[in-house]
Structure formats: structure tokens, C-alpha cells
Structure 1
Amino acid sequence: MHALDILGDPVRRRILELIADGEASAGGIAAVISREFGISQPAVSQHLRVLREHGFASVRAEGTRRLYAVDPQGLQQASEWLTPFERFWRGPFAALSTELARGKRERRLSAERAAASPPPRGDAAARTAGPSHDDRADSRNGTSADSGNESNSSSKDSYDDNGNNDSKE
């Protein structure tokens, strides 16, 4: 049987996932697989035997328990077979990695710029602080800060489409 034939079965792939982080007992594996796939304990034992015989899993006895672990030999065979095809996903994954790094950098720089820039003039703190010293002086004089502009509140200038003053005074 070819290494990919072994990995083609979802039950065997799930068993490998269960033992990928370390040893697991045959009983513990059987309980999870039976619950997830609805197969019997003897059927799980058959899958364990196939994994063991084809170099994907190793087993050791501990008293009456059998502990299974990943054997890298079978995975190495699968990896060797897949090696000529890696070119089909290495480029796109490298491009994805570059784009993720670029987006992360842009978010970081944007956050740094936002932290370094002063708050906008019309923020809540400026609105609640009350009028500035200059504003109070202008209100006592009856002038406004905009009095130097041509468009103060007392002027009602209007213009036609050609830019001519249509004001009626």
C-alpha cells in the first residue's frame, strides 16, 4: 500500500492527529474515533494496525495498555512523494506570507502615526474647555475672531453664476 493510500482514509488521518502531540492509549483513541466516526473498537484497532504496519505509528506496551505514537518513517515516505509537487504551493504561500506581513506592517505604522499625531482641534476636550482668552476679549469688544474675513455674520453677500455681487444693500 502506498503512503498516500494510508493517509487517504479520514479515520487514519484523525488517528494521526490524535497522536501527533504525543502518545495516546489505544482505548483513548478508540473512544474518540468511535464517537466521531461511529465505528466499533475492533474497526479502530484495524486502522491502528494498518498505521503500525506501514510505518505511520509505533506502539509500546505499558502494563496492559498499548500506547501509540507517530512514527516519522511513514510521513517521510509521503513527504518524499509530494516533494516534486511543492512548487505548486510554495510560491502562492510565500506570496501570501508577504501580503500578510505587508498588511501587519501597514497596521502598525498607521497605529504609530495615530499615536504620534495630536488630537484634532474639534475634539471633545476643546469643546468642553470653554472659550479661549482671545475669544473672551473679542466678545467684550463686540468683535469676533472672523471679523477680518470678508464674510462675517453682518454681511449677506450673494453672487450670480458669473461671480458678480448680487447683494442688495
Structure 2
Amino acid sequence: MEHNQHTPTQRSRRNRHGRGRRGPLMPMHLPAYRTRPERFDDAVMASAQRLGERWGSKLAIIDFRIIPVPGEKVMTQAAAVGDRMPLSSARPATAQRRARISVYRLPLEQASHNHTELVDLVHQCVVHEVANLWMLTPHDVDPEYFPKDPDF
């Protein structure tokens, strides 16, 4: 009986059944290669950049956070006003800290049916939180994305 000896590099690439790690299923240059959290990060960054082109340094003083799910404090605050699951939240600036917008990845992913809808929903959340921080309407923050509603 002949016994195959593997070199250390072969052993690390193969499991005990002779199968090893596979290469990526999607080529690295295609957008689908990125993970869901990475694509979500891209959507938040694209939204902030879009608003940054209009607002410049005023938007640059807001910190953006991406969090998988809202914390207990945010959930308690949402329940107090009758909301079920917050998709985003904002904290105004104080003398000691910068303003912050938090975007919650998993609730937004669950609320959207596809990536295009997710990107739109992320932008809506970011615009609404910026509008709340600055006490403006969403139309004032991004008039191209939010057309003027005659009911306002």
C-alpha cells in the first residue's frame, strides 16, 4: 500500500477528503464579488458623497456610522414613539462631540427587495436624518432626489 506524503502547503489547502478551498465564485473585478456588508457600506458612502457635493463642509462635520442593528437604547426610544424597528438615527452635535448619523444595515436589508431598492432606502434614511439634524425638509437637503411635494 502506497502512502502519499503531502507537503505542508498542500496540506493547508486540502481537507481530509482531498477537497480544498475553492477560488472565488465571482471574478474580483465584478461588483457581485463584494460582500453584502461591503456593498451596504458603499451605499452609505455614495449617499454621503452625493450630499457632500451639495453641502460640502457642512456635511463633513457629521460622522456616519454603520451598525448591524439598533441598540437597546434606540429601540426603547423608538418604542416610546410607536415605531417598530428604526432604520437609522441621528444624534445632534454638542460642544464635546460631533453630530452623528447611524444607519442600521440588517433592518434596511430586510426592508428592501433588491440592491437597487436598498440603495434608494439608504439614501432616503441619510437624507431624512440630515434634514432632522438641520431642521430642514428632505427636499431642501436633496431636491433632485425628493421632488417638492405640493402638500408641504
State the TM-score, normalized to the length of structure 1: 0.17
Rg bigger for which structure? 1
**Which of the pair has the greater relative contact order for Cα pairs under 8 Å at 6+ separation?**
2
Higher helix share: 1
